[in-house]
Amino acid sequence: MSARIIVIASLLLAVAGCSAIGRLTVKDYTAKSGERVMAGQAEPKDEYNCRKLSQEEQDWGLSGNMDKAAAMERVTSVAVETAPKKGANYAYIIAPSETSILGFNVNAFSDAEVAYYQCANLPPAE
């Protein structure tokens, strides 16, 4: 009986951890215009009632593969400033995948993409 409880508790912790990780990848930002924009590496939840406005490429470059954190910060910053101009309040950042063949990253020169959404029911700012 106790082994069963341990297995169930472990599964519940894993599920809770996964949902928290998904939430951590999206943050609140304020554009220079003063508008609130949520941006990150997760598509908006259905409950946000969003409609996709556009999707466009953002420069990632070879340096982005060497310093992913700096590239993600740069792309996010551009997306946050661009979103209000497009009427968007949510930016989904899509980094290039790291697909490699024989140790060579075949997406080394690929760009990131940003999908802009207008959401009616964003959660309150934290």
Q: C-alpha distances in angstroms, 58 versus 64, 72, 77, 107, 110? A: 11, 10, 11, 14, 10
pLDDT in tens, 63-87: 666 688 888 999 999 999 999 999 9
Q: Enter the pTM of the model.
A: 0.74
Distance CA 40, CA 23 (A): 9
Q: Decide if 40 is inside a domain.
A: yes
Distance CA 56, CA 112 (A): 9
| Residue closest to 98 by CA, chosen among 85, 113, 109 | 109
Instruction: Give the CA count within 13 Å in the CB-facing half-sphere of 121.
Output: 5
- The percent of residues above 90 in pLDDT, for the chain, comes to 53
Q: Decide if 16 is inside a domain.
A: no
Distance CA 118, CA 105 (A): 34
pLDDT in tens, 15-33: 555 444 444 589 999 999 9
Q: Decide if 113 is inside a domain.
A: yes
Q: C-alpha distances in angstroms, 115 versus 20, 57, 119? A: 22, 9, 12
Residue 66 lies in domain:
26-119
Q: Decide if 39 is inside a domain.
A: yes
Q: Decide if 5 is inside a domain.
A: no
Q: How many domains does the chain have?
A: 1
Residue 86 is which amino acid? K
Question: What are the backbone angles phi and psi of residue 90, rounded to the nearest 5°?
Answer: -145, 130
Q: Decide if 89 is inside a domain.
A: yes
